[in-house]
Structure 1
Amino acid sequence: MPRIYDWSAKEAERRVTVADLLAARNFDKRYTQVTANTEDEAIAAEAAGIDMVVTRARNVATVRKAGPNLFITAALGFAEAITQDEILRTAFRALTDGADSVITARGMSTVAMLAREDIPVMGHLGLVPRKSTWLGKLRAVGKTAAEALELLERFRRLEDAGAFAVECEVIPARVMSEIRKRSGLVTVSLGSGPDADVVFLFTEDICGETDRLPRHARAYGNLRALHERVRIERISALQAFREDVLSNSFPAPKEVSIIADAEFESFQSALNKNSA
């Protein structure tokens, strides 16, 4: 496992580095990426052998502690950092908290600003859900020749701005394959087919926690059913507790502390003297 110094100047080990990702195509290597925003999710990703995770910038410290060897990409939220100075501060804070790169869906000027500081920046092209009003709905991007050519141009502009990688969301697989041949960016496929350097799915989709599974995803578990069982069991337990309290069956003698008779008598005697 590669040894590095992280952005807080601490020696660390990572399953993959930026250099590995950039060289992936030369060795016909693909990596896996999922989301992780909690300690439990990071522990599971680490234990499962996942290479990379994406997390919100504010969660990096928690995820890094739980997943010491994961390659972590910090998502810079639109509302968490607005000005260029705030964005840069948020990025460096995420990096010193343990992130290996940052991802932003902002414009090229933001990508360029971050890249000028040698920050590994991942862009986001194709379907960017928060910008879907420009598309009119949630849909694949690049389904016409004109749109696919425009998308290729966006890849080139993103690379020119200094990004090292790009999350490619819901791009037709054949279009993605052709664009990848013409781009030096590390490609992270979320619903854009198998021809990419990294294949990405949301943990909640993989584990079967969502009400509606996106077309591009596959559920490998059924945590939703387990969560429902937990919800029902929690309500049942709370109801039983309330009923026992109201019927005076809780707490029972075995669930309270006791005092020896002699000590209690001494206590009462002292009370009587004090009240006399």
Structure 2
Amino acid sequence: MSKMPRIYDWAAREAERTVTVADLRAARDSGKRYTQVTADTPDEAAAAEESGIEMLVTRARNVEAVRKGSKRLFVTAALGFADAATQDDILRTALKALTDGADAVITARGMATVSMLAAEDIPVVGHLGLVPRKSTWVGTLRAFGKNADEALELFHRFRRLEEAGAFAVECEVIPARVMAEIRPRTGLVTVSLGSGPDADVIFLFTDDICGAEGRRPRHARAYGDLQALQERVKQERVKALSAFRADVQANAFPGPQESSQINDDEFAAFMSKLKQGAFEH
């Protein structure tokens, strides 16, 4: 394994990272493509690191937990719409996530928010294409950029995002040919979620990769079947609880092996003292 870059994180702790902002910016010239998945728990983060994944996305409030599972992966903290409302709140939330161990933040807010964060030298990732929480503007959950006017508008949004100071952009469900044409025309690090292979980072949700749910987006591919395992866990749980209740009802639990014992001499002494005590009262 090649030696990892050494940095100081936002809490002034010396750290190693699989990838840095500088590495991501150089990816296009080097031909390197990175992988990114989601994590909300230490176990998910640890599994990603062990698998060779380089990057994680997590909710800002989960950064500290995720860092317990992985000290090395590049972590982007998602700033929720409801977690912070005012510009001061947003900046405070971003800085808290960074000092908890995040390397960047992602926001789907407007350009003013991106500029405010970038002005503090915070690595900011924008979000373009299908932004699910804003899907009411296009009427449904669908690819954005499937006609010429939308594709051109999308390109202008890339330009505005770059001018606002973002260093990267999550590109969600953009037609692959449109993405392939926009990528060489932007200086942003591109993160493809359902937008084809022409990107610096390829991103999928961990639950989709692992088959944790029966329904998954069209752009996702399942490499595991956690849903089947979870169903087996559910069935085993019900089976075990039912058997426990049946044993209790049949007076078969607890038995001698689940109960503490006292030897005969000590028990006889106890009974003697108990009876004496009864007369005393």
TM-score when scaled to structure 2? 0.97
State whether structure 2 residue 173 is matched by structure 1 residue 193.
no
The correspondence for 1:237, drawn from 226, 235, 240, is 240
Gaps of 5+ in 2: none
Partner of 2:274 in structure 1? 271
The correspondence for 2:51, drawn from 39, 48, 51, is 48
| One-letter identity of the residue aligned with 1:273 | Q
Q: Secondary structure at the match of 2:68?
A: helix
Partner of 2:73 in structure 1? 70
Partner of 2:104 in structure 1? 101
In the TM superposition, residue 213 of structure 1 has moved relative to its aligned partner by: 1.8
State whether structure 2 residue 154 is matched by structure 1 residue 151.
yes
Partner of 2:24 in structure 1? 21
CA–CA distance in structure 1, aligned partners of residues 267 and 81 of structure 2 = 64
Q: Secondary structure at the match of 1:159?
A: helix
Give CA deviations for 1:80-117 in whole Å, capped at 9, x if unaligned: 11111111111111111110000001111111111111
In the TM superposition, residue 275 of structure 1 has moved relative to its aligned partner by: 2.4
Q: Secondary structure at the match of 1:199?
A: strand
In the TM superposition, residue 14 of structure 1 has moved relative to its aligned partner by: 0.5
CA–CA distance in structure 2, aligned partners of residues 220 and 93 of structure 1 = 34
Partner of 2:175 in structure 1? 172
Q: How many residues align?
A: 276
Q: Secondary structure at the match of 2:192?
A: strand
CA–CA distance in structure 2, aligned partners of residues 93 and 265 of structure 1 = 64
Over the aligned positions, Cα root-mean-square deviation in angstroms equals 0.8
Give CA deviations for 1:196-248 in whole Å, capped at 9, x if unaligned: 00000000010011221211111101111111111111111001001111111
CA–CA distance in structure 2, aligned partners of residues 73 and 125 of structure 1 = 16
In the TM superposition, residue 267 of structure 1 has moved relative to its aligned partner by: 2.0
Amino-acid identity (%)? 73
CA–CA distance in structure 2, aligned partners of residues 53 and 270 of structure 1 = 66
Q: Secondary structure at the match of 1:69?
A: coil
State whether structure 2 residue 13 is matched by structure 1 residue 10.
yes
Give CA deviations for 1:117-169 in whole Å, capped at 9, x if unaligned: 11101000000011111110010000111101100111111111110000000
TM-score when scaled to structure 1? 0.98
| One-letter identity of the residue aligned with 1:122 | V
Gaps of 5+ in 1: none
CA–CA distance in structure 1, aligned partners of residues 117 and 31 of structure 2 = 29
Give CA deviations for 1:18-70 in whole Å, capped at 9, x if unaligned: 01001111101100000001122111101000000100111101111101111
